Structure 1
Amino acid sequence: MTGFDAFAHAQTLLAGLGDHEPPADGVRLHEPAADGTTAHDALLDGVWSALARPGALATNFRLVESGRQVDRSRWMRSRVGDGEVLHTALVPAYLHSAVERGATLVISHLEALDERVMLLCEALEYLLRARAWVNCYITAGENSAFDVHSDDHDALILQLLGRKHWEVDSRVGARSRDLAPDSLDRVLTPGMCLSVPRDTAHRVSGTGELTVHLTVGYEPFADVREETRAAHALVGRTAPDPDPEWLTTRLALRPDRRAGASLRSALTGEVGSGTRIRWASRYPPYVTTDDEHLTVTTMGRRIRLDRRLEHTITLLTRGGALTYDELVADSDLPDADLRALVAFGARNDFLICEG
């Protein structure tokens, strides 16, 4: 899965849930068309890759059985080697038997362990203007490891393998231990996506087969809203609901950056036909124009560019990844000017150039 594929898949998921904004008017369910994307297969490969990866932090993994965490010493081995580097590895025999008994293996922050999942997480963050993270749940039992509960963040559920039974309270914001009679009651199959708003009670259980799903937790404008509330609290005032444009501008002032490096292009200025180019900021930039110039606010900086670059900057700030050849095909700039822009972006760290 490339950055372009991940971004397209993120757009498909959000469009299937109703729009390209954070789903905010209740529980939503997206069922892909019969000839829909197979991106979930790439994400599933990412799960298996993370399980086989040596050296992952022990804190990325939890094994929950009958509502309690199983001591890691039973199913994980760790040793210190190469100086102070901690090496960890799962113990397959114990893990396999525990999952067969109905335990749930939880992988926290899967985006830190696999590039494919990271690219999807970044794409959703960019589109939702939200801090996001990805947890994975693997089980083969029928009972729920967590019973009825609610979370303090919004979530998108992506079913990757097998079937999972979800019951989600129809009353958004209700933290009741008893679900309403008209609550959503569905079995998710691979490719389906479910939106669960924050503070909404839900129950999840297996169907007796091996099942894997991802939970993308996200908090729209979370950091900006927290800063606003804290600032008003200092002067003893209640924070008003911020204007969306103000929130977007403030988000563009944050220094948060996507994962990736542009060392070669930054030092040499060289890009190849297959070089993958992405906008570097974690959140969309804020762009203003006048008669001659384009001002881009991104990662806490303001970059002033020639107005003739507007179309190409628009292509880059959509959030997906483009190869240099794809950028050439869609841009209206001469090749020399386009190469100069990409080299300038790599040196000044508002573009990520890989490959």
Structure 2
Amino acid sequence: MTGFDAYAYAEHVLTALGDPADPAAPGSLPPASGVRLYEPAAGTAGPGPAGGTEALLAGVWSALARPGALATNFRLVESGRQVDRSRWMRSRVGDGEVLHTALVPAYLHRAVERGATLVISHLEALDEHVMLLCEALEYQLHARAWVNCYITAGDASAFDVHSDDHDALILQLLGRKHWQVDTRVGARSRDLAPDSLDRILEPGTCLSVPRDTAHCVSGTGELTVHLTVGYEPYADLRDEARAAGELLGTPAPEPDPAWLAARLAMRPDRRAGASLRNALTGEVGDSTRIRWASRFPPEIRTTDDGLVVTTMGRRIRLDRRLAATIALLSRGGALTWPELVDRSDLSAADLRTLVRFGARNDFLICEG
């Protein structure tokens, strides 16, 4: 992966925010673990591989330098109101209908110093590091996710006490920010409970805020940057099940997790990435990075006839001898060719055949 292993970083974040009493339990991961805070030990950079926080922060600066055609993803909020973009952004049309956009640093600097907050929505569409992290979290949480960025240098709050209709993970990247979060999950009250979490988040700190949980965020008078990863577990499948129950006039029970996972494997959604060169030439070298192509984990069943893999809405039949390697690849992380050879129980020749087949049939992404 470019910059850092996003899958390992996401795995560390979720483990850090899980329930330490039973980390292996299905309900130990966010959002089931509730409002949870992970604070790195003094002198460490936070969860995940070294350099993860720095790589994400570099992605923020990259997005600021080149907003491009996604200028509408940027908002400047001051005193609870959006500042007109014409004051802090310049755009022109060139190269046909391509929009060229640049920020106006002088105005933007003054506004942020006064306490305004610069919001970048869907940062994953602007930077590869953030995109890879977003995909890794989606894969592990069985969720649809997106990443927003908040930059401020004031000590006031751009937003009053509020709650969101989605679950969120907070990653503090730079500076310190003051968070107050109601410990009563599902409480939309405008008055936070007396025992609410009240903490200054340092760089490397992670916070889990379940949906419909009231919270208030304010700066500390220094430049601060944090990411909010919004996500919806099992996308809209739960809503579909409830709607079906209402249509039939019967209360729908909570869907079984196995059923939800199987339905999610039928979604056609694919991760970003291309295997064109590898699919056409069959080349797989030491620098090739190999990962599962679907946005959500596949469903894998062993039958008398072989292995049935359901992914991106398709059923692929494979030889049963591939079961261990398919399970390894379907974990979701990226493996280089030497790593795959070392960890697979297949010969290098059989493994190369499988990777070529996966690239051609679009269930494996091979890059590099």
Fold equivalence (TM over 0.5): yes
Q: Which residue of 2 aligns with 1:52?
A: 65
Further displaced range: 330-339 or 122-131? 330-339
Q: Which residue of 1 aligns with 2:39?
A: 31
Check whether the contact 1:65–1:103 (CA below 8 A) recurs between aligned residues. Answer: yes
Taking the aligned partners of 1:154 and 1:174, their CA distance within structure 2 comes to: 13
Alignment root-mean-square deviation, CA? 1.5
Q: Tell me, yes or no, if structure 1 residue 351 matches structure 2 residue 359.
A: no
Q: Which residue of 1 aligns with 2:17?
A: 17
Residue deviations 1:279-335, cap 9 Å, x none? Answer: 000011111113451111111011111111111111111110011111111111111
Residue deviations 1:181-224, cap 9 Å, x none? Answer: 00000000011100001001100000000000000000001221
Check whether the contact 1:110–1:134 (CA below 8 A) recurs between aligned residues. Answer: yes
Aligned ranges for residues 1-355 of structure 1 at < 5 Å?
Answer: 2=2, 5-18=5-18, 19=23, 21-33=29-41, 34-35=43-44, 36=46, 37-291=50-304, 293-355=306-368
SS of aligned partner of 2:244: helix
Taking the aligned partners of 1:39 and 1:25, their CA distance within structure 2 comes to: 24
SS of aligned partner of 1:240: coil
Check whether the contact 1:4–1:322 (CA below 8 A) recurs between aligned residues. Answer: no
Taking the aligned partners of 1:3 and 1:343, their CA distance within structure 2 comes to: 26
| Residue 87 of structure 1: how far off its partner (Å) | 1.3
Check whether the contact 1:17–1:23 (CA below 8 A) recurs between aligned residues. Answer: no
Gaps of 5+ in 1: none
Check whether the contact 2:56–2:129 (CA below 8 A) recurs between aligned residues. Answer: yes
| Residue 3 of structure 1: how far off its partner (Å) | 8.4
Taking the aligned partners of 2:67 and 2:162, their CA distance within structure 1 comes to: 33
Residue deviations 1:210-240, cap 9 Å, x none? Answer: 0000000000012212332333344444332
Identity of aligned residues (%): 81
Check whether the contact 2:234–2:260 (CA below 8 A) recurs between aligned residues. Answer: yes
Taking the aligned partners of 1:3 and 1:247, their CA distance within structure 2 comes to: 33
SS of aligned partner of 1:29: strand
Change beyond 3 A, Cα 1:187–1:333 = same
SS of aligned partner of 1:256: coil
Check whether the contact 2:139–2:295 (CA below 8 A) recurs between aligned residues. Answer: yes
Further displaced range: 266-275 or 128-137? 266-275
Check whether the contact 2:30–2:208 (CA below 8 A) recurs between aligned residues. Answer: no
Check whether the contact 1:4–1:321 (CA below 8 A) recurs between aligned residues. Answer: no
Check whether the contact 1:61–1:105 (CA below 8 A) recurs between aligned residues. Answer: yes
| Residue 272 of structure 1: how far off its partner (Å) | 1.4
| Residue 54 of structure 1: how far off its partner (Å) | 4.6
SS of aligned partner of 1:222: coil
- Which residue identity is paired with 2:323? E
Give the TM-score normalised by structure 2. 0.93
Residue deviations 1:28-48, cap 9 Å, x none? Answer: 001224445431111000100
- Which residue identity is paired with 1:110? L
- Which residue identity is paired with 2:301? T
| Residue 109 of structure 1: how far off its partner (Å) | 0.1
Taking the aligned partners of 2:329 and 2:3, their CA distance within structure 1 comes to: 12
